[in-house]
Chains A and B, each alone.
Chain A
Amino acid sequence: MLAYLIRRLFAAAVMLVVIIMVVFGIFFLVPKWAGVDIAASFVGKQADPAAVEAVREKLGLSDPVHLQAWEFFKGIFAGRTFATGGDVVHCSAPCFGYSFKSEQAVWPVLTDRFPVTLGLALGAAVLWLVFGVAAGVLSALKRGSLWDRSAMVVALAGVSLPIYFTGMLSLATFAFGLKWFDAQYVPLGQSLGGWFGGMILPWITLAFLYAAMYARITRATMMEVLGEDYIRTARAKGLRERTVIGKHAMRSTMTPILTMLGMDLGALIGGAILTESTFNLPGLGQAVLNAIRNQDLPIILGVVLITSLSVLLANLVVDVLYAVIDPRVRLT
């Protein structure tokens, strides 16, 4: 078990390094190839070539890519010092550098925005797990019934609608039209009610999409499981239907659901770009979208790192959970 964990963690670390290299490549090599000068966008309208050169120096853009990447790595674990034109700043670990655009340190931006995204992802996950799995199980048990068919039609519609479209519709209807919700983000620390009022529409919109997917999968898996021999055996033994479903069938059904949950949560924590930009939530997704538009590499790198880390961690947790839920799975 321990050896397994260590191996997985090591693989995850290697993965992270690779991902950082790829991001570096995208933002340093491709613009060069396309003939775009990043430094030029950070000087004002009367910029003289000397100022552009100085900015390039300051951002470290004239160093070789591998050196820049190395400095970045070093900063995360040991901190680093930036110095240009008499401006010396020490950035202590974990140092993700400073935003090209706003000059603020990246790490506080990440820690500041992380709770928003985490709240969005977790809240929505609770909703979609409860409603999605319940709908899927009910549909599987009452196959062909009116309930089953209408639930599956709704679910199919749910996975076929773009989230920004449902988001806009719900904003237009419930926030601006009926004025039921304020739909404006308020930090949890400021007001619980305000936070709830601001998050409820994004939660429902996001959960609708995922609940639809989860319902479809739960139904398919449950039906498959119900056809297995051991369920038949359990029933033949005279176990009550509730025990058969609740204890035996549910266990197997939950395995693929968990896999998905791990991946989906991981990806969402890294930034629900479309949801956050539709609902104006100040989370990681919004930050990274703006950063991509501004070519603000340090912010992008930070968010990508957090995203990748959360996907890798979520997968690891899921794998460990397997062993707990499903006795057939061994970790080797």
Chain B
Amino acid sequence: MTAPLHEPTAEAAPSAIEEAAAVGGNAKPVQGRSLGRIAWERLKRDRLALTGGAVILALTLIALLAPVISNLVGQDPDAYHEDMIDALFGTPKGSLGGINGDHLLGVEPVNGRDIFARILYGARISLLVGFLSALVAVVLGTVFGILAGFFGGWVDAAISRVMDGLLAFPQLLFIIALVSVMPSDMLGMTGSSVRVFVMILVIGFFGWPYIGRVVRGQTLSLREREYVEAARSLGAGRFHILFKELLPNLVAPIVVYTTMMIPTNILTEAALSFLGVGVKPPTASWGQMLSNAIDYYDSDPTYMVVPGVAIFITVLAFNLFGDGVRDALDPKGSR
């Protein structure tokens, strides 16, 4: 696969994060400041990360308010404007892919749909799949990671083997295969919602071992620490220890991995739509727009550049923010 489904920065980071979590656990009494507090102080000084965060916020708002905004500019993402199209070539009339006062980013070739409106709606798909598939991965990864680390023995062996196996899978291949053989209607859903649902599940499923491995390692080292021993000797139940004592100390690495996983998932969704197994038309998706735009790379470059840049900005913002979060949570960090 060429889309970096595993974000390698995450591969190298564990040592730093393990430290962060470990120190986080110990830091409370010594410095009297919570890890979150320290991290926030650091993050506030990181202008790049803040910019990334601001862009993410803005994108989220755009995605949520897509219908409102497209109403404001008076454009429907699915409405045809064939008067904007040169009938012979199928490309938009006018320069720059038909950009004018009505169509802020021009129109699509052949049917003349407003690109600005479609980009807004496309953000919904990208962010929805990006966030929710990360959520699936986090939930699965945390649960199985804690179980493996806490119980050890055959539970650990079994879960670890499954995780190794999933990591050795040719993932993009499996995701394409799974998404393409899924039925087009299930659980009362039809059309694009099925595909979005399937993508979230499948991308999330292949993401959990990355988080699972870290959580397992963390749990392994944490469960031997004094405060866990203390809780245990006080007669606390297993679940109390798991969720009250261990989980809070796993928050830091989980947060770091989540922020790094979201942009990867967004890229995967775009790649699937690009390969034609993503959302169904007329639902707008950036990857699908790029895939259509190939036919017009020379005659209408605007159509190719706009969704490409949209993906770029979004993923860049998440990466900037993710870097900032990692640095902020890393006690040895550079800032």
A and B associate: yes
Residues of chain A whose beta carbon lies under 8 Å from any beta carbon of chain B: 15, 18-19, 22-23, 26-27, 30-31, 33-36, 143, 156-157, 159-165, 168-169, 172, 176, 206, 209-210, 213-214, 216-217, 220-221, 223-224, 227, 256, 259-260, 263-264, 267-268, 270-275, 277, 288-289, 292-293, 295, 300, 303-304, 307-308, 311-312, 315
The answer for the CA separation of A271 and B165 in the assembled complex, in Å, is: 18
A209 B4 Cβ-Cβ under 8 A: yes
Closest chain B residue to A308, Cβ basis: B168
Given the complex, which residues of A lie within 8 Å of B275, measured CB to CB? 273-274, 277, 289
Interface string of B1-37 (1 = CB under 8 A from A): 1111011110111011000000000000000000000
B176 A273 Cβ-Cβ under 8 A: yes
The answer for the CA separation of A304 and B263 in the assembled complex, in Å, is: 26
B13 A220 Cβ-Cβ under 8 A: yes
Contacts A156-B320, A263-B6, A308-B168 given: A273-B173 contact, CB under 8 Å?
yes
Residue B274 lies at the interface, judged by CB distance under 8 Å to chain A: yes
A213 B8 Cβ-Cβ under 8 A: yes
Contacts A31-B181, A164-B274 given: A227-B176 contact, CB under 8 Å?
no
Closest chain A residue to B297, Cβ basis: A172
Interface string of B311-325 (1 = CB under 8 A from A): 110011001100100
B9 A217 Cβ-Cβ under 8 A: yes
Partner of B316, one of A160, A227, A308: A160
Interface residues on B, range: 35 or more
Partner of B11, one of A23, A157, A259, A273: A259
Given the complex, which residues of A lie within 8 Å of B178, measured CB to CB? 26, 30
Distance in Å: Cβ of A7 to nearest Cβ of chain B? 13
A19 B169 Cβ-Cβ under 8 A: yes
Residue B180 lies at the interface, judged by CB distance under 8 Å to chain A: yes
Residue B232 lies at the interface, judged by CB distance under 8 Å to chain A: no
Partner of B176, one of A15, A30, A224, A289: A289
Could you name 7 residue pairs across A and B whose Cβ atoms are closer than 8 Å? A26-B174, A157-B316, A160-B315, A168-B297, A263-B6, A277-B275, A292-B173
Partner of B9, one of A27, A213, A267, A268: A213
B2 A227 Cβ-Cβ under 8 A: no
The dominant DSSP class at the B interface is helix
Given the complex, which residues of B lie within 8 Å of A168, measured CB to CB? 290, 294, 297, 304
Given the complex, which residues of A lie within 8 Å of B2, measured CB to CB? 163, 206, 209, 268, 272-275
B11 A165 Cβ-Cβ under 8 A: no
The dominant DSSP class at the A interface is helix
B334 A223 Cβ-Cβ under 8 A: yes
Given the complex, which residues of B lie within 8 Å of A172, measured CB to CB? 297-298, 301
Residue B267 lies at the interface, judged by CB distance under 8 Å to chain A: yes
B11 A160 Cβ-Cβ under 8 A: no
Closest chain A residue to B311, Cβ basis: A162
Given the complex, which residues of A lie within 8 Å of B274, measured CB to CB? 162, 164, 274
B175-234 residues at the A interface, CB under 8 angstroms: 176-178, 180-183
The answer for the CA separation of A292 and B177 in the assembled complex, in Å, is: 6
Closest 7 CB pairs of A and B: A34-B183, A307-B170, A160-B315, A160-B316, A217-B12, A165-B308, A30-B181
Residue B332 lies at the interface, judged by CB distance under 8 Å to chain A: yes
The answer for the CA separation of A209 and B1 in the assembled complex, in Å, is: 12
Given the complex, which residues of B lie within 8 Å of A163, measured CB to CB? 2-3
Residues of chain B whose beta carbon lies under 8 Å from any beta carbon of chain A: 1-4, 6-9, 11-13, 15-16, 164-165, 167-174, 176-178, 180-183, 263, 267, 270-271, 274-275, 287, 290, 294, 297-298, 301, 304, 308, 311-312, 315-316, 319-320, 323, 332, 334
Given the complex, which residues of A lie within 8 Å of B182, measured CB to CB? 30, 34
Given the complex, which residues of A lie within 8 Å of B7, measured CB to CB? 159, 213
Given the complex, which residues of A lie within 8 Å of B165, measured CB to CB? 15, 18-19
The answer for the CA separation of A327 and B215 in the assembled complex, in Å, is: 28
Contacts A26-B181, A260-B8 given: A161-B312 contact, CB under 8 Å?
yes
A274 B3 Cβ-Cβ under 8 A: yes
Contacts A271-B1, A273-B1, A274-B172 aside, 19 further interface pairs with beta carbons under 8 A come to: A26-B177, A33-B183, A143-B334, A156-B316, A156-B320, A159-B7, A160-B319, A163-B3, A165-B312, A217-B9, A224-B332, A264-B8, A267-B1, A267-B170, A271-B173, A272-B1, A289-B275, A292-B173, A292-B180
The answer for the CA separation of A27 and B174 in the assembled complex, in Å, is: 11
Given the complex, which residues of B lie within 8 Å of A30, measured CB to CB? 178, 181-182
Contacts A292-B180, A315-B168 given: A224-B16 contact, CB under 8 Å?
yes
The answer for the CA separation of A160 and B2 in the assembled complex, in Å, is: 13
The answer for the CA separation of A214 and B317 in the assembled complex, in Å, is: 19
B13 A160 Cβ-Cβ under 8 A: no
B177 A300 Cβ-Cβ under 8 A: yes
Distance in Å: Cβ of B309 to nearest Cβ of chain A? 9
Q: Which of B4, B263, B304 has the most CB of A within 10 A?
A: B4
Given the complex, which residues of A lie within 8 Å of B169, measured CB to CB? 19, 22, 308
Given the complex, which residues of A lie within 8 Å of B170, measured CB to CB? 267, 270-271, 303-304, 307-308, 311
The answer for the CA separation of A22 and B166 in the assembled complex, in Å, is: 11
Closest chain A residue to B168, Cβ basis: A311
The answer for the CA separation of A213 and B6 in the assembled complex, in Å, is: 11
Given the complex, which residues of A lie within 8 Å of B263, measured CB to CB? 160
Given the complex, which residues of A lie within 8 Å of B8, measured CB to CB? 213-214, 216-217, 260, 264
The answer for the CA separation of A216 and B327 in the assembled complex, in Å, is: 13
Distance in Å: Cβ of B220 to nearest Cβ of chain A? 18
Contacts A160-B312, A163-B2 given: A312-B11 contact, CB under 8 Å?
no
